[in-house]
Structure 1
Amino acid sequence: MASKLEILAYEDSPLGTLCLRRRELLKSPGTFVTEVTLNHEFLMSSLYTDSERELARIAIERHGGTDLSVLIGGLGLGYTAQATLASGRVGKVEVAELLPEVIDWMRKGLVPLSEELNADERLQTTPCDVYRRLCGPRESRFDLILIDVDHSPEERLGEQADDFSQMFYTERGLRLAKQHLTPGGMLAVWSYDQSSPFVDALHAVFGEVHVQDVSYQNDLVDERCTDWLFFAR
């Protein structure tokens, strides 16, 4: 039995060929998921989003403030942004997304969370490189900076990962990024792998560091998977 597959968008981007697709799961007839591939390799899915949402929830909880100003690096399918906006303690959210095509998917209603995100007046999307921005002069400060861009600190997205993305995960890059935080502000970073060198760099720059694992059962590959969240203040 073949699954139902719909190509929602297929276009070139600075990182390569992007594909947004919707398909029915063979293992669960009647269940449809939205997926993104980059250069024909799987990138993200609407099926398992626990760690993306936990990145926002835990950061907001650990910060403890109200009327929070939040910068999110990477829009993706919007689950980190949705979880951030779900908190009544958040005043405004800016999402810095490198690929304008991804922002267009949301604005055109092509992703599952489009209607909800487009309707929230607290959300602003900016087409830019979040790493270049955080390694550059400070324009404004944020209570929370949430980064969900790369696969891990050691495995960055796309073959064209530049000096800014590499620098961000170093002690030098983190010191530059820290200048974009308000006093007591928090940096949170998503990764699919644990990274001791990145943890060491965080400890060298921030006074408080917390690492959280988020595990889930991935029925598509029939194994237990774990993502890693890094929090620093």
Structure 2
Amino acid sequence: MTTARFEELDWQETPMGELTLRRRLEPTLGVDVFEVKLGEEFLMSSLFTVAEVALADLGLAAVSGDNLTVVVGGLGLGYTAVAALADARVGSLEVIDALPAVIDWHERGLLPVSAQLTGDIRTTLVLDDFFALMRRKPTTRYDAILLDVDHSPRHQLDPSHSDLYTMAGLGQVRHHLVEGGVFALWSDDPPDDEFMARLSVVFSDPVAHIVDFDNALTGGVSSNTVYVATRHP
């Protein structure tokens, strides 16, 4: 069976711009690659999922206990959420995304992990603004909050997200965690000393993990950062 070299799977206008999901054959590797673009900006690619998986693995490794209540901010291609489900201690998983199109992609089974994600009874896909949720009074306190929406604490997709990375915003995130709960954040930038200083005031013993991965397109090694911080008294 021959697959097309390029296919636009979905295109939708959103409040943040034109959102496109496409599948293309990567000729250098001979594999299908799923990519998401917002306008002319690449948001994510199925070629690079190591750090997305590490966000779940590193975040949950810092949590004790069983029957964990976990929330993922940012559904995307689904790799962070599926990695969280691989932890048998996870009792429930909410995955929050502000874009109906992204939830629709997974409900229609358009992405490689969609069936695995939506077929797990622990999963709930929620249409909401994660950043607005963090500003509200908690109705649920989580064992782990895993966030992968913005490029980094300094580079947000939308200006309305910026308050979360302040001392006050981090305090609101902390308020949504149980004692001993963990906040983990993916970033495309190297560790940020100023952000780490703010984390250190609000949370206990934050760590900035550098996650290296092979970049098949450049032939070199690329890096992302995963911040992990714990709520203690």
TM-score, structure 2 as length reference: 0.94
CA contact (8 A) 1:19 1:40 kept: no
Asked if structure 2 preserves the Cα contact closer than 8 Å seen for 1:94 and 1:124, the reply is yes
Is 1:24 matched with 2:25?
yes
Secondary structure in 2 aligned to 1:187? strand
Question: Secondary structure at 1:63's aligned position in 2?
Answer: coil
5+ residue gaps, structure 2: none
Match of 1:112 in 2: 112
Letter paired with 1:51: A
**C-alpha distance in 2 between matches for 1:126 and 1:62:** 25
The letter for the 2-side match of 1:161 is: P
Q: Which amino acid aligns with 1:107?
A: E
Q: Read off the aligned partner of 1:67 and give its amino acid letter.
A: N
- Hey, what does 2:7 align to over in structure 1? 6
1:119-168 alpha-carbon deviations (Å, 9 max, x no partner):
101000111111111122111100000000000000011xx421xx1111
Q: Give 3-state SS (helix, strand or coil) of 2:194's partner.
A: helix
The aligned counterpart of 2:141 is 141
Structure 1 counterpart of 2:196: 199
Do 2:53 and 2:80's aligned partners in 1 also have CA atoms closer than 8 Å? yes
Moved over 3 A (4+): none
Aligned residues: 226
Q: Does 1:219 align with 2:216?
A: yes
Match of 2:169 in 1: 173
TM-score (norm: length of structure 1): 0.94
Partner of 1:125: 125
Amino acid at match of 1:113: V
Aligned amino acid, residue 214 of structure 2: Q
Matched, 1:229 2:226: yes
Q: Which of 168, 181, 185 is residue 185 of structure 1 equivalent to?
A: 181
Residue 200 of structure 1: CA displacement?
A: 0.7
Structure 2: distance between partners of 1:126 and 1:39: 24
Shift, 1:65, TM fit: 1.6
Corresponding position of 2:70 = 70
CA–CA distance in 2 between the matches of 1:34 and 1:5? 10
CA RMSD of aligned residues (A): 1.1
Aligned position for 1:55? 55
Alignment match, 1:103: 103
2: CA distance between counterparts of 1:121 and 1:143? 19
TM-superposition CA deviations, 1:10-61 (whole Å, max 9, x none): 11111100110111112123x1111111102211011110111111111111
Identical amino acids, percent of aligned pairs: 39
Query: Structure 1 residue 6: deviation in Å?
Result: 0.6
For 2:185 and 2:102, how far apart are their aligned partners in 1? 20
Q: Residue 205 of structure 2 corresponds to which residue in structure 1?
A: 208
In 2: Cα distance, 1:24 partner to 1:197 partner: 40
CA distance in structure 2 between the aligned counterparts of 1:83 and 1:112, rounded to whole angstroms: 13
